[in-house]
Structure 1
Amino acid sequence: MDLIVSPVGADSDLRAVLEDLQMGRYASARDLLIRTSDNWSLYATRCQRLTDSVAGRGVLKMWRDEELHSAHAATVWAWSLTRGAIGLCRKGAKADVVGRAAAMAQQEWKRVDELWPRSPEPWCGRLQLSQLPYDARRFDPRWHNRREPWGTLDDPVMHLEGPWPFLAEANRRHPGSRDGHHRMREYFLRRHGASVSSQYTHWLVAGGPLNPELLVLPLYSQMDLYRERHSDGRNSALQFWQTEQMRHFATQAYDGWFAHLPPTEYAWVSPWDLNHLAHALVGCGETERAAWVFRALGPYATPQPWKDVLESLGRSRDWTDEFLRIRTTVLGRRAPW
């Protein structure tokens, strides 16, 4: 198979919409999100891919201004503003600049609340804004009357402090919100580091999440740990992927989630999830399971985690060459079909 590097994967509908945005047209984006809105995981993924392109930002703003009562236009524009505020902070912009950008995003999420109260997206967006160096309560329109604790959960195992009310709101609207839990993982990562983020994902899957997609989350946190501990390729970097813990998380995600997916749904699965799962299965030696995931991926791949691992080892070849070598080896060893 040829290799196509794309965060969109096999989602041909989304790919067509992105092409339209590049040409200044938003009607297909509106129609796609209307069709997707009952599938919150796919809706969140598609919204965020729509905001990836800086070139498309002006089109999204035009859509929002021309259709002021469109919840979908407001949602996409709110995500664009949110990601913009996060980007400014990471680039070291002045505090007042970041603060104004965050306020604009917060105001747009309030509009989405009004237009579409049942949507989990505003609460996932607020979870994203919580990464910024402010008290997260500043992003909560209900914090004066909120019953949920802002400190820790009433849970004998989970002692981490965080914006739990935002996650609770997302879960009320979409039980087991994939996007909400990913944003929570990122909150702990940005605020406290990879070890704390890893504690969160381990706690989550140990409790048997309602949404089996969440079984992939520990693979993301393991990758975060790898970047933190082995970005220079030293300290037993390769052995990191060969532990029993890694095997446990990889096979748990495969057996509890991927193995139950009908092949007709592969195109709607996050290609990032599939790439993280394939990489983890290869790393811990579960090549037969990995072969099935590579088959689901087809010709598509995302740079992470392959690129980061290859660069950490100081290897000069392109990550796509390494991906193709691994895929060919795994599928050639025992093709699953």
Structure 2
Amino acid sequence: MAREGARPCYDPAGSDHALRAVLQDLRTGRWMAMRTLLAETTEAWQWTQRTQILAAAAAGSDVVRAWLAEEPDCAHAAVMRARVGVERALRARRERRLRAHELWIEAWDAAQTATGLAPRDPVPWICLLALAQLDPEQRWAEHRAAPPAPPLPPGPWELLAEAAARDPYNREAHHRVLQFLYARDGGRNTPTAAADPARSGAREAAGHPGTGLKEAAGPPAAGIGRARARLIEPAGPHRGLDEALVYARWAAGQAPPGSALHLLPLYVRVERHRRAGERQAHWTTDAAAREAHTALTSWFTQAPPGRRAQPDLNHLAHALWSTGQYAAAAAVFEAIGPYFTPPPWLYRAGGRDRAVDVFAAARDRCRAGTDPTRT
């Protein structure tokens, strides 16, 4: 719980104090604490989260290379090499560096190596999924596999299946699919055809194997059936966003209680808001309010507090505040505590530096809405 009036801070480790200590060691070029922490991390959700955050911190140094030099056959070190490689490749593409393609191939090679050294680990497959966004034209065969449901486009579905076979409903894996779909807006503007179920070959009676998601029998509650007609027509300039929304609703509609996949539609709504540059229009609809309430009841009230990721808490608080559900938002703000994440607040602030101001104002408004003594 955050102290009344206290300004939150951004810390990638959030409430993971063990991770925070390791990040401090990484900044000084030491890797032993990272090795120890990863050896002690046994739950898949935490392993995925910690390796991602550690890679972001290590990508600007040779600390993982130093670890591999000492322990060349260490599976954990190989996974971290893949993580760091992906982080560098994505940064290089964003910054339009000359070595972007070279770094992409290096990251792919590292991830492939890690799949062999750590065969039960979902992270190497998540790394390959993350690289799919660098191929929006889908030149690579692994990025144009048949989809698990007809409304969805061809994509890196087999990579998702491999990740989910090792950790069903893995949060990051599904967010990487969203990033791939977003990137398609920058690719070829071609029609999106519904997949032919007879040609998929990979489906089982219970659904697409390994994705952790069952194929819907009849119209899904998330509105997938209604979206199908639009998606099989020639797509406009926002093809990727449209596909991402269909995917997010489909995935969320089939996720179990407590799964972070219930928040996927909120992330797509924030992305649409960010691209449009509109302050409020995307949140003044009944659909936005329903999505926020569904995420609250299907995820926030069901997930163990220790497993709630900071970005998810912030996106839910933002959605509830944006749709006027202040009492519910106040409870989420309390769960956030002293930490916050700049997205999604920075898209309301006009800049990253003012994101904390928007967060604090929203938190105060929601707290005031639940306390009759405050004005």
Identify whether the pair has TM-score above 0.5, normalized to the shorter chain: yes
Gaps of 5+ in 1: 141-148
- Deviation, structure 1 residue 223: 0.6
Aligned match of 1:50: 54
Structure 1 residues 160 and 134, CA gap change in structure 2 (3 angstroms): closer
Contact 1:177 1:211 in 2 (8 A): no
Give 2:292's match in structure 1, choosing from 214, 231, 250: 250
Q: TM-score, normalised by structure 1?
A: 0.85
Give 1:202's match in structure 2, choosing from 234, 249, 253: 249
Q: When the two structures are aligned, how many residues end up with a matched partner?
A: 312
Distance in 2 of aligned mates of 1:198 and 1:188: 9
Q: Does 1:98 align with 2:104?
A: no
Distance in 2 of aligned mates of 1:107 and 1:153: 25
Contact 2:31 2:63 in 1 (8 A): yes
Q: When you count helix as a share of all residues, which structure comes out higher? A: 1
Q: Does 1:271 align with 2:310?
A: yes
Contact 1:254 1:277 in 2 (8 A): yes
Q: Does 1:328 align with 2:364?
A: yes
Q: Does 1:311 align with 2:350?
A: yes
Contact 1:8 1:49 in 2 (8 A): yes
Deviations 1:290-320 (A, max 9, x none): 11111111111111100112218xxx98222
Deviations 1:254-289 (A, max 9, x none): 1011112344x2xx4211111001000100111111
RMSD between aligned alpha carbons?
2.4
Q: State the secondary structure of the residue aligned to 2:169.
A: coil
Structure 1 residues 10 and 88, CA gap change in structure 2 (3 angstroms): same
Distance in 2 of aligned mates of 1:10 and 1:139: 40
Contact 1:189 1:197 in 2 (8 A): yes
Aligned match of 1:83: 87
Q: State the secondary structure of the residue aligned to 1:162.
A: coil
Contact 1:64 1:74 in 2 (8 A): yes
Give, as a single letter, the amino acid of the residue that structure 1 aligns with 2:146.
T
Give 2:29's match in structure 1, choosing from 9, 17, 24: 24
Q: State the secondary structure of the residue aligned to 1:305.
A: helix
Distance in 2 of aligned mates of 1:256 and 1:295: 18
Q: How does 1:146-295 map to 2 (within 5 A)?
A: 150-153=144-147, 155-156=149-150, 158-192=151-185, 193-209=240-256, 212-229=259-276, 231=277, 233=278, 237-263=279-305, 265=306, 268-295=307-334
Question: Percent sequence identity over matched residues?
Answer: 33
- Deviation, structure 1 residue 136: 5.6
Structure 1 residues 302 and 134, CA gap change in structure 2 (3 angstroms): closer
Q: TM-score, normalised by structure 2?
A: 0.77
